[in-house]
Amino acid sequence: MEGDPVNITCCWTEMFERLGVKWLKNQTEIKNETIILATNTSQGSLQKEARNCSTLTFTNITRNDSDIYFCKVSVEIPSLIEAKGNGTVITVLDRGNKTDEEDDMNDNTADSSYVLIFVLRCLPILSLVLTLLYFNYRLTKSHQDKTASPGRKEEDQSEEKRDEMETEAE
């Protein structure tokens, strides 16, 4: 959000006595620093104090700071070595443009998304249940038709005999 403090950190794994770090906004250099590995001789022995990171700090970020930032580390001694990071994208949102209505709309949209996801996840289960019910209905109906068939044949035959007798009697 606009006005917030933001830090981007660039770190490396190798230890060098001297190296340069350049910060680029998109492809334009915005900060250049030289890092020298400090030596501490206060206790009679040489100790090297490690500093493997560089930080780009925005104390009060603005929308104009929205862009992609790169860190480029270079070592000249004993031989030239350069490495460039993948980049960090900063998108700064305007703090003043958001209204309560937009917040409510965003909340409602999120709620709608959760409902839609829930419904879509339930569809396969609902389809399976409906399929099982359909096959159960068909099986039950088929079973009822088979048990009702012999009785029907007798009724149909006796009706046919009555019809034949009536026609002969006339």
* pLDDT tens readout for residues 21-37: 999 998 889 998 888 76
Structure tokens at 138: 């068909």
Label residue 167 by pLDDT band (50, 70, 90): low
Contact, 92 vs 61, CB < 8 A?
yes
What is the CA angle 1-12-50, rounded to 5?
105
Label residue 105 by pLDDT band (50, 70, 90): low
Question: What global pTM score does this model have?
Answer: 0.49
CA neighbours closer than 13 Å in the CB half-sphere of residue 63: 5
H/E element holding 8?
A: strand 6-11
In single-letter form, the type of residue at position 67 comes to D
The strand pair at 88-90 and 67-75 is best described as antiparallel
Structure tokens at 93: 């949102």
Query: How far is CA 70 from each of CA 2, 23, 74, 144, rounded to the nearest angstrom?
Result: 21, 6, 13, 77
61, burial (CB in 10 Å: exposed 0-12, middle 13-18, buried 19+): middle
